[in-house]
């Protein structure tokens, strides 16, 4: 039985789905879906590679290697995996600071970390990251991409572009005299066309059409200073993937230096892949397995790294499209990856003359959708705690980096959650009549606790216990409405019981459910609470003395 359960948990989804109900009709649906998705994914993956500071061919290699491995090893039926906007700025920063080999080392570590996340079942915990944090850093990444692509969109002649968000904006303004009118005209046309098609014909292959228009435009105006894929990156069709592991990977010093970047890639990749799996589940009615999906993403990123690719995760837009056009199994994702490679070999000479301004227009549209500021405007109307986390995460992403942004957002969210939890913990001091204590009926001081009794609320409990008048021989602590107690709360209780015993005052803790009683007994290793529990005390409240 245990062996079957392990197999069910860790069997790749492609095996599960093919074994269950695969047929010739399913295969036909998968091929059709793979064809339709590849038409959209092909130009996007090239543009995301460019935004990451790599060549378009590296984006293609990543989508083919990582996309295939994710389909073969993952736990979701519909994921389309490749370079995404979520990684663009962080990868560009890593390449700028540590070089491409340093990025590869970080990616290998990230792949291993994602596999470890899966084995430790951390996939179930990532869902608990607050939405204002994920929305905040996604918006920050989107805005960063928009600013980073303004140079290509305007056709500016640039030299050394600053990394800082506001410094980069300022530098672009200083170079406005170098705007290329032909690049700007193509970029504006592409941007308007993409927005109109997205609004009125979302199923139309708008990205492919823009590529074709860009190729035609570049051919018609060959000597006007348009920067193209070929002029910047060379002949991409001949840059085939080769298996290699950088020498830096075997240096402990380098690995330690690259670990923060590796963790950022692993965390962001895990978050995006699980978010994509949830979206595809909602669209399809199927259910993914979080930890198997993380395992597949880890293997996919390891494969991408050793074949010269960049980080990959679920591409949310193309994954949604994959579901909508009728994909049945991960075979559709495999078809998508193989078709993308075929396009490169067949269309390599045309890809070279694609203008960067039309690719920049694609990125501007995608990045604005990522930022989703209009969609998330309700967060600004939410409680100040949520809107503060959202705004702070955006600013930290723009001004520092995404790792710090997530850390700051999580810390701030944790403190705000603690504050809200403390505010819901209420303590009432009153006088009660207690029956059946040693066969007698008597008056006693009573303290009623409602809410979680944890480290945040412990000072409130401590102050309330100290403020008890202690005019009776018995103090009754009613914990009927306490759903949780931690070590700090237990410590406050134990210290009060010991202090009361020294003054010959009996403390009775009543209303405990079995779970809280069990937790208290475990934490009461020295027996301070021994004799303080009561199972059969009935009480009749009298006048309230205070709060």
Q: Locate 17 and state its tokens.
A: 């789905």
**pLDDT tens digit sequence for 342-362:** 888 887 778 888 898 998 998
Any idea which of 60-74, 304-318, 428-442, 463-477 has the lowest mean pLDDT?
A: 428-442
What is the per-residue DSSP string for 291-340?
Answer: HHHHHHHHHHHHHHHHTT----EE-HHHHHHHHHTT--STHHHHHHHHHH
Q: How confident is the model at residue 112 (pLDDT cuts 50, 70, 90)?
A: very high
HSE-CB at 168 with a 13 A cutoff on CA atoms is 16
Report the share of the chain in percent with pLDDT over 90: 19
Enumerate the domain spans of the chain. 2-413, 425-546
pLDDT exceeds 70 at position 435 = no
CA 139 from chain centre, in angstroms, equals 12
Task: Tell me the three-class secondary structure of 336-351, residue by residue.
Answer: HHHHHHHHHHHHHHHH
Q: How far apart are CA 136 and CA 148, in angstroms?
A: 18
In the predicted model, is pLDDT for residue 539 greater than 50? no
Q: What is the pLDDT of residue 334?
A: 94
Token couple for 88: 């663009």
- pLDDT tens figures, 496-534: 888 888 888 888 888 888 888 888 888 887 788 877 776
pLDDT band per the 50, 70, 90 thresholds, residue 240: low
**Tens digits of per-residue pLDDT, 394-417?**
888 888 777 677 778 878 888 888
pTM: 0.75
Domain at 425-546: CATH architecture: 2-Layer Sandwich (3.30)
Sign of the Cα torsion 376, 382, 386, 390 reads positive
> Which of 160, 161, 163, 165 has its CA nearest to residue 147?
165
In the prediction, which pLDDT does 168 show?
84
> In sequence order, which residues have a C-beta less than 8 Å from that of residue 232 and are 6 or more positions away?
356
Q: How far apart are the first and last CA of the chain?
A: 55
- Could you tell me if 340 and 346 are in contact, meaning their C-beta atoms sit under 8 angstroms apart? no
Tell me the H-state helices in 175-247.
181-200, 206-220, 229-233
**Neighbour count for residue 513 (Cβ, 10 Å):** 11
Residue 179 DSSP one-character state: -
**514 closest CA partner among 479, 468, 543:** 479
Q: What are phi and psi of 289, to 5 degrees?
A: -115, 110
C-alpha span between 428 and 214 (Å, rounded): 72
């Amino acid at each position: 039985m245990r062996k079957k359960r392990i197999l069910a948990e860790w069997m790749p989804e492609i095996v599960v789905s093919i074994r269950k109900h695969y047929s010739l009709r399913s295969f036909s649906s998968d091929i059709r879906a793979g064809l339709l998705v590849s038409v959209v994914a092909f130009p996007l993956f090239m543009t995301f590679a460019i935004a990451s500071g790599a060549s378009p061919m590296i984006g293609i290699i990543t989508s083919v290697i990582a996309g295939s491995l994710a389909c073969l090893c993952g736990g979701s039926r519909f994921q389309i995996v490749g370079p995404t906007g979520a990684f663009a700025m962080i990868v560009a920063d890593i390449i700028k600071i540590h070089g491409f080999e340093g990025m590869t080392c970080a990616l290998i570590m990230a792949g291993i970390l994602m596999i470890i996340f899966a084995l430790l079942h951390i996939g179930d915990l990532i869902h608990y990251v607050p939405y204002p944090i994920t929305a905040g850093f996604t918006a920050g990444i989107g805005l960063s991409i928009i600013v980073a692509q303004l140079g290509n969109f305007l056709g500016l002649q640039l030299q050394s572009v600053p990394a800082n968000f506001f410094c980069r904006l300022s530098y672009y303004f200083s170079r406005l005299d170098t705007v290329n009118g032909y690049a700007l005209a193509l970029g504006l046309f592409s941007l308007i066309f993409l927005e109109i098609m997205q609004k009125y014909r979302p199923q139309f292959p708008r990205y492919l059409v823009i590529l074709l228009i860009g190729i035609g435009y570049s051919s018609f105006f060959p000597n006007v200073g348009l920067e193209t894929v070929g002029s910047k990156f060379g002949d991409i069709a001949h840059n085939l993937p080769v298996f290699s592991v950088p020498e830096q990977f075997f240096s402990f010093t380098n690995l330690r230096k690259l670990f923060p970047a590796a963790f950022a890639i692993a965390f962001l990749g895990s978050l995006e892949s699980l978010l994509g799996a949830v979206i595809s589940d909602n669209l399809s009615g199927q259910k993914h397995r979080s930890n198997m999906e993380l395992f597949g993403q880890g293997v996919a990123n390891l494969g991408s790294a050793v074949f010269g690719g960049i980080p990959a995760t679920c591409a949310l837009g193309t994954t949604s499209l994959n579901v909508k056009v009728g994909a049945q199994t991960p075979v559709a994702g495999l078809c998508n990856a193989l078709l993308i490679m075929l396009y490169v070999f067949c269309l390599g000479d045309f890809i070279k003359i694609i203008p960067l301004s039309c690719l920049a227009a694609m990125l501007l549209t995608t990045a604005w959708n990522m930022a989703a500021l209009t969609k998330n405007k309700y967060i600004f109307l939410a409680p100040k705690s949520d809107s503060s986390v959202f705004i702070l995460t955006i600013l930290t992403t723009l001004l520092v980096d995404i790792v710090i942004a997530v850390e700051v957002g999580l810390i701030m969210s944790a403190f705000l959650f603690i504050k809200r939890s403390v505010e819901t913990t209420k303590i009432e001091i009153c006088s009660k009549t207690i029956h059946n204590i040693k066969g007698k009926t008597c008056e006693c001081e009573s303290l009623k606790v409602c809410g979680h009794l944890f480290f945040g609320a412990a000072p409130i409990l401590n102050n309330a216990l100290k403020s008890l008048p202690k005019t009776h021989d018995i103090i009754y602590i009613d914990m009927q409405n306490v759903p949780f107690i931690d070590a700090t709360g237990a410590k406050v209780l134990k210290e009060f019981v010991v202090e009361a015993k020294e003054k010959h005052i009996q403390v009775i803790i009543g209303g405990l459910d079995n779970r809280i009683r069990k937790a208290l007994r475990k934490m009461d290793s020295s027996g301070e609470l021994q004799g303080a529990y009561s199972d059969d005390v009935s009480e009749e409240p009298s006048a309230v003395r205070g709060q």
